[in-house]
Structure 1
Amino acid sequence: MARDVSSQFAPSWYSAFEGSHVQSREQRMRAFVRLWRAFMRARVFIATVLLALQVFMLVSQTGGPNWLVVVCSAHLCAALVTLYLWRPAEQAAPMHVQWLLTIGVDVLVFALLQSFQVGSINYTALFALPVLLASILGSLTLALATAASVTLYLLGEAALHAPLFSDLSTARFLQAALTGTGFFLVGVLANQLAIRLAREEALTASSQAAARAQAQVNELVIESLTVGVLVVDPHGVVRSANPAAQAMLLGQVSPQAAKLLLSARSSWQHLAHLVNETFARGEALETETTIDNEDRPSQRLHARTRLTAQSGRSAGLCVLFLEDLREVEARVRTEKLASMGRMSAAVAHEIRNPLSAITQANALLDEEVQAPAQKRLTRMIEQNAQRLSRIVDDILNVARAQPSQDTTSAPSLPLDQTVRQIAHEWVRQSKAERILGVHAHAPAAHVGFDPEHLRRLLINLLDNALRHASGKPSSIRLITQPSGSEHVRLSVWSDGQALEASVMRHLFEPFFSSESRSSGLGLYICRELCERYGAQIAYRRTRLDQREGNEFYALIPAASAAPTREPTQQSLSYPMGDSVATRAEHQGHPLSGDTPLATR
C-alpha cells in the first residue's frame, strides 16, 4: 500500500488525500494492484505483438537488424517477470528501481525499435504506454520525467537523422516538439484525472462504509426493540419483521417471517385491515387489537402504522408497530409503585410518633395489669406494635437515598466471626436452635461492610428462609466460603418448596410478596444493601445433602485485613456451579444435618 506522499512529491492517484474522507490503506493497495496488473498485461500483449512483428520481418527479410528479435524477446521476458514475480512498487517513491525496470525498459526498447526502423513503420505511439503508466500509477513527478525523457529522445533522433537548418530538419524538430508536448499534456491530464477519480472513489467508499455502519446500527436497534416492527407492502406481504414482532405473531423467532401474509390467518385480519386502511387513507392510524392464538394465550396489542415516503412509481411501504399492552401496563404499575413508595414513606414517617406512644402506653399498662387475660392482650399489642415498627423501618430504609458505599472506607469485618455472632443472636430471638446449621469455611476472609448493614442483610435472609423452611433439624444452612481470589460467598439455604416462575421474576422487587402478612421489602432491602458495597445477590434452586432447597447467596468483594495469626483451615476456590455440599466436603466440613448450632 502506498505511503502518504511527502511535501516534495505531488500526490498520485492512490496516495493519501487531504480531508477526512480517504480510503483505507488496504483498499488503496488493492485498487493499485488491480491497475498495476492491468498495465502489466498490456505490456505483455504489446511485447508479444512486437516480437511477432520482428519475427515476421526477419523471416521475410524486410526488417531491421536481426538482434532486434533478441531485444523484443528480452522485453517480453521482462514483462512476464514483472507481471508474475514482482510486487507493485509504491508510487510515493518515484525513483524506485522497479519503475526503472518497467518504464525505463519500455522507453529503451521503443527507442531502439524507432531508431532502427525500416520502411514506413513508426513506433512513436508506443511511448504513450510508459507515459500513461507513470501518470496513473506513479506521481506527477514520475509522469513528467517520463514525458521529458521521451521528448528528449525524439528531439535527439530528429537532430541525428536530418541535416541542421534544412526544411526536413525543421519539420522533424517541429513534429518531435509537438509529439513531446502531447506526451506532457497526456501525462498531466491523466495524472489529474486519476487523482480526481481516486478521490471520488475514496468518498464513495467512505460513504458506503458509513451507510453500512448506519444500517447495521439501525438493524441492531430494531432487533433489540421490545416493540414489534413489521414492514408491509400494499399487497399485505410482510417484507421484514424484527424478533419482537415474530414472537408476537408466531410465538417464536422464525426466519420465514418475511414471507408472511397478514391475511393468512384469521387472528391477523385486524392488522391486515389496519394496513389496508392506512394505504387507502394515506395517513397514520392506530388501534388496540387482540390476537387469539390457538396454542398460547391471547395477546392484547396496541398497533400503529406509519407510511414511508413514495419514490417514483413505488407506492411506498407501511411500517406497523406492535406494542404488548401487558408491558405498557407493567410500566404503569412500576410508576404507580414508585409513587406509592414515596407516599408510603411519608405515611410511615407520620405513623412512627403515634406508634411510639402506643408502645409506651402498652408498656405502662402491662406493669399495672395482673389478670392473665389482660396480660395476653398487652402481649398481643406489643407483638403487633413491633411488627408495625419493623414495617415502618423497612419502608423508611427503602425510601432513603442511599449512595453507593466505597468499600475502602467501610470497616473490614472478619466474615466468619461476624456471621457466627449474628446467627447466634438470630437463633436466640427466633428460637430456632436446631433449625439453623452454620458452616463457616472462610476463616481468613474479611469484607468491607458496615456491621449493622451486614446484620440486616443476614437477618432478612434468615427470616425469609424461616418462613419457607420445613422446621426440621438443619433445614436452614448458613454457609461462608471463598469464591475465587477476590470474592467471598455468603449463602442461606433452606429446604422449602420450589418457587413459582411468576414469583422468581419479581423476587427482588419492592412491595412484592407471596404472603399477605409480609411487607415485600425484605429481599429488596438485601439487594440494595449488597449493591451499596459492590456485592451481588442472587437466587437458585440447588441440592444439599440429597435434599432440594432454595439458596440465596451474595458474592461480596474481599477486603484486605490486618495481619493475623495463621488460619487453621485452608481457603479454597470453587466454581459457582458446584453444590454447597460438594464445596463443603472439599473443605473437610461435611454438612451434617444433625449437628446443632451450639456445637459448630
Structure 2
Amino acid sequence: MPPTCANLDTAATEEQASKAGGRDLESFSETRWKSLRYFQLYRSVVAALLFFSALLYPSALPVLTLQQGGHHVGLAGGYLLSTILSAVVAYAWRQHASSQITASVLLDVLVMTLLIHFGGGLGGGFGSMLLVTLAGAGLVGQGRLVIFYAALATIAVLVEQSYRALQTDLEATAFFHAGVFSIAFFAVAISARLLARRLLANEELARRRGIDLKKQTLVSQRVIEEMQEGVLVLGDDARVAQCNPRARQLLAAGESEEPALRECSPELLQSFADWRRQPDGGAVLVQVPANGVQLRARFVGTTGGDSDVLVFLEDMSRLREQAQQIKLAALGRLTASIAHEIRNPLSAIRHAGELMREERRGELYERLLRILLDNTQRVERIVSDILELGRRDRVYSELIDLRQLLPAFAEEWSTREQLAADVIQLEVCGNARICFDRSHLHQVLWNLLSNALRHSRRLAGSVRLLVGDGRVAGQVELHVIDDGEGVADDLREQIFEPFFTTHHRGTGLGLYIARELCEANEARLELLGRGKGADFRLLGRALGC
C-alpha cells in the first residue's frame, strides 16, 4: 500500500509526542535500556565467577573459601542472587531506571567493600571492580547521580580503611592507596558520564535526522506516486527496479510484479539500448502495443555511483489535449468577443434580407437572396454555438428522470425537424435517472440527434435513442444510434475537434460542444463501434447530484 498523508501525520505525531514527553539528552532511549541490561548481565557474570570460583577453585580466591567461614560464601551467593534479580527486573520492567541503577551500585559498593575488608585491603584487587562498576553506572546513569555513586564508593573505601587502621597499626601507604582509588573513582565516573553525554547527543541527532529523512522520503514517494508522468528506474540489464502507478497505467502493466519492457513496449527497450550506447538529453516517441498509447520517453542518468537510469514517460495525447485546451481557451475569448460584435450587424443583414424577400425581381434575384439568407443563418448558428461554449462552466445539476424527459423531447425535436413520429425510436429501461444540468442535456441531445438525422436514411427507426444502466453501479448510459454509413476510421479521432465537419452546411461545433457540456457535468461522450451506423454513448452519473 502506498504511503499516504496518514503516514506523514504519524511521523509528525511521533516527533510532537517526543517533545511533549520531555524527551531530551537525559531521557532513557531504547539504546540506553539495552546498555542497562548489558550492565546488569555483566554484574551477574562477575557474581557467578566469584561464587563458583569459591566453590570449585578455593585457592583462586582464598577470601571466599570455606576455611574463611561459611558466611563469606553466603555473601557471594547472596550477591549472585541479587544480580540475577536485577537483570530480570531490567528486562521485564522498563520503569524507574535510575532507581534500578542506584540499587545496583549500592549493592556493588557494599559487597566489594566487604570483600576488600575480608581480603586484606585494596591490595586484594577488589577496588578495581568498583572502578568498572562506576564506569558502567556513568555510561547508563543520569546527571549528578554519577557523582553520587563515586562519592559513595569513596566514602565506603575510606571508612573501611579507617576501621582497619583502628583495628591494626596506622599505615600511611594504605591511606595513600585509598586516596588514589578515590580520585580514580571520580575520574572514571566523570569521564564515563561525559562520554555518555556525547553518545546521547549523537543518538538524539541521529533520531531527529531519521525523523526528517522519513518524512522527506514519504513526501518524495507521495509526489512520485501522484505525478502525471510515469517514472521508471532501470538497471543495466533493462530490468525495472522501481516504477510509480502512473507508469504501470501508461505501459498497461499489472500490479503484481514489475513490468517487463520487452513485453510492454519493445520500442522503449530499443530506445533505452540506443541511449546506453550514446547518452543524450533528447526525448523519443515510443508506442505501447497493449493500449496504443504514444509516449514521450526521456532518459536521465543518476548522479550516484550506481548505474541506474531514470525514465520519465509522458502521454502524448494528454500533452496534445493540454495544448489544444490552451489554444481553444485563447481562441474562445477572442471569438466570444467577436461574436457579440457580429450579432448586431448580422441581425440587421438578416432583417434586411427578409424585407427584400417581399420583392419579386426574377429567379436570379431570388437565388442570390436565398444564398444570402442561408449563409446568414449559418453564421448566426456558429455565433450561437460559440456563445454556448462560454456557458459550459455554469452547471446546475439535478436528478432528471429520462422516462419523462425523453418522450417530450423526441416529440419536440421531430416537430421542429418536420419528421414523422416513427423516425426516432425510443427505448428506456433500468433506473433511467441522470445527474445533469437540464439545459445542457437539452443542448447535448439536440446536437446528437441532429447529427444522427443528418447521416441517417430518415426512415422509420433510423434514429434510435436507447437508455439503460451502466456497467458500473451508479451510472447510466444513453445511446444515440443512426443507420447511416458510420464514421470512417481515419475520421474517428477528428469528429470531436472544433470546426471539423463533413457537411457543407455544418458548423463543426455540434459534437465538440456536446462533449464539452458532458465533461462539465462529470459525464463522458464517446463514439462506439466500427460497423455500419454511428453509436454515440453518453455515460453519466445516476447519483451524487
| Range of TM-score over shorter length | 0.5 to 0.7
2:481 matched to 1:492? no
Q: Which residue of 2 aligns with 1:107?
A: 109
| Counterpart AA for 2:198 | R
SS of residue paired to 1:393: helix
Q: Shift of residue 49 of structure 1? A: 1.8
Alignment partner, residue 183 of structure 1: 185
Find the counterpart in structure 2 of residue 437 from structure 1: 426
Deviation sequence 1:257-297 (CA, Å, 0-9, x none): 79xxxxxx99778645643xxxxxxxxx7668788999999
Matches within 5 A, 1:110-259: 110-117=112-119, 120-163=123-166, 167-168=170-171, 171-208=173-210, 210-211=212-213, 214=216, 224=227, 226=229
Residue 538 of structure 1: CA displacement?
1.8
Q: Is the 8 A contact 2:468 2:478 kept in 1?
A: no
**One-letter amino acid of the counterpart of residue 363, structure 1:** E
Preserved contact between residue 465 and residue 493 of structure 1 (Cα < 8 Å) = no
**Aligned: 1:344 with 2:353:** no
The secondary structure found in structure 2 opposite 1:162 is helix
1:89-488 alignment to 2 at 5 Å? Answer: 93=96, 96=99, 98-99=100-101, 102-117=104-119, 120-163=123-166, 167-168=170-171, 171-208=173-210, 210-211=212-213, 214=216, 224=227, 226=229, 271=275, 274-275=278-279, 335-368=326-359, 385-398=376-389, 400=390, 421-430=408-417, 431=419, 433-434=421-422, 435-437=424-426, 439=428, 449=437, 451-463=438-450, 473=461, 476-477=464-465, 479=467
CA deviation map 1:532-567 (0-9, x unaligned):
6xx410247899xxx9954203227656xxxxxxxx
In structure 2, the CA distance between the partners of 1:73 and 1:340, relative to structure 1 (3 Å rule), is same
AA aligned to 2:537 is E
Q: Which residue in the other structure is 1:555 paired with? A: 541
Using the alignment, how far apart are the partners of 1:506 and 1:62 within structure 2? Answer: 105
SS at match of 2:166: coil
Q: 1:53 is matched by which residue type in structure 2?
A: S
Distance 1:469 1:384 in 2: 24
**1:37 is matched with which residue?**
37
Deviates more, 1:54-63 or 1:299-308: 299-308
Task: Please report how far the alpha carbon of residue 196 of structure 1 lies from its aligned counterpart in structure 2 after TM superposition.
Answer: 2.0
SS at match of 2:524: strand
Please state whether the residue corresponding to 2:421 is helix, strand or coil.
Answer: coil
- For 1:294 and 1:413, the matched residues in 2 are separated by 41
Contact 1:493 1:549 in 2 (8 A): yes
Q: CA deviation at 1:125?
A: 1.9
How many pairs does the alignment contain?
A: 505
- Cα shift readout 1:417-470 (whole Å, capped 9, x = no counterpart): 556544442343243733242648779x89785x54453344345445656778
- For 1:456, the aligned partner's letter is Q
Deviations 1:385-415 (A, max 9, x none): 44432321221232x376565x6xx899887
- Written as runs of structure 1 = structure 2, the 5 A alignment for 1:497-516 is none
Contact 1:512 1:520 in 2 (8 A): yes
Report SS of the residue matched to 1:536: coil
Correspondence 1:45-124 to 2 at 5 A? 45-56=45-56, 58=58, 62-64=62-64, 65-83=69-87, 86-87=90-91, 93=96, 96=99, 98-99=100-101, 102-117=104-119, 120-124=123-127
- Distance change in 2, residues 1:40/1:387 (3 Å): farther
1:517 is displaced (CA, Å) by 6.1
Output one character per residue of 1:285-329: Cα deviation in whole Å (capped at 9) or x when no partner: 766878899999999979798895xx9xx8999989898988877
Task: For structure 2, list consecutive stretches of 5 or more residues without a partner in the other structure.
Answer: 1-13, 263-268
Moved more, 297-306 or 266-275: 297-306
TM-aligned CA deviation for residue 369 of structure 1: 5.2
Deviation at 1:71, TM superposition (A): 3.5
Find the aligned partners of 1:554 and 1:325 in 2 and give their Cα distance. 26
- Aligned-residue offset at 1:210: 4.0
TM-score scaled to structure 1, two decimals?
A: 0.62
Amino acid at match of 2:522: Q
User: What is the aligned partner in structure 1 of residue 10 from structure 2?
Assistant: none
1:289/1:302 contact within 8 Å kept: yes
Secondary structure of 2:186's aligned partner: helix
Distance 1:337-1:211 versus aligned 2 partners, 3 A rule: same
Q: Work out the CA distance in 2 between the residues paired with 1:78 and 1:165.
A: 33
- The answer as to whether partners of 2:497 and 2:512 remain within 8 angstroms in 1 is yes
**Superimposed CA distance per residue, residues 157-210 of structure 1 (whole angstroms, 9 cap, x where no aligned partner):** 122211299752x55455444433433333333223222222223323443554
Greater percentage in helix: 2
SS at match of 1:161: helix
Secondary structure in 2 matching 1:139: coil
RMSD: 5.9
Unaligned runs of 5+ in 1: 16-27, 259-264, 276-284, 560-600
Kindly tell me: are residues 509 and 228 of structure 1, through their superposed partners in 2, closer, same or farther at Cα, counting changes over 3 Å? farther
Task: Pick closer, same or farther for the CA change 1:89–1:118 going to 2, 3 Å.
Answer: same
The question of 1:537 aligning with 2:526 is answered no
Alignment check: 8 A CA contact 1:130 1:146 kept: no
Relative to structure 1, is the Cα distance of residues 108 and 505 closer, same or farther in structure 2, using a 3 angstrom cutoff? farther
- The CA deviation string for residues 549-590 of structure 1, in whole angstroms up to 9 with x for no partner, is 54203227656xxxxxxxxxxxxxxxxxxxxxxxxxxxxxxx
Q: Distance in 2 between matches of 1:61 and 1:183?
A: 24
- 1:123 deviates by 1.2
SS in 2 for 1:140: coil
| Offset of residue 524 of structure 1 | 4.8
Contact 1:228 1:323 in 2 (8 A): no
Q: Letter of the 2:54 partner, please give it.
A: Q
Q: Determine helix, strand or coil for the equivalent of 2:47.
A: helix
* Distance across 2 between alignment mates of 1:10 and 1:226: 42
Secondary structure, counterpart of 2:538 in structure 1: strand
CA distance 1:518–1:112, shift in 2 (3 Å)? farther
Give runs of aligned pairs for residues 2-41 of structure 1, distance below 5 A: 12=25, 14-15=27-28, 28-29=29-30, 31-41=31-41
User: CA separation of 1:39/1:481 partners in 2, compared to 1, >3 Å: closer, same or farther?
Assistant: same
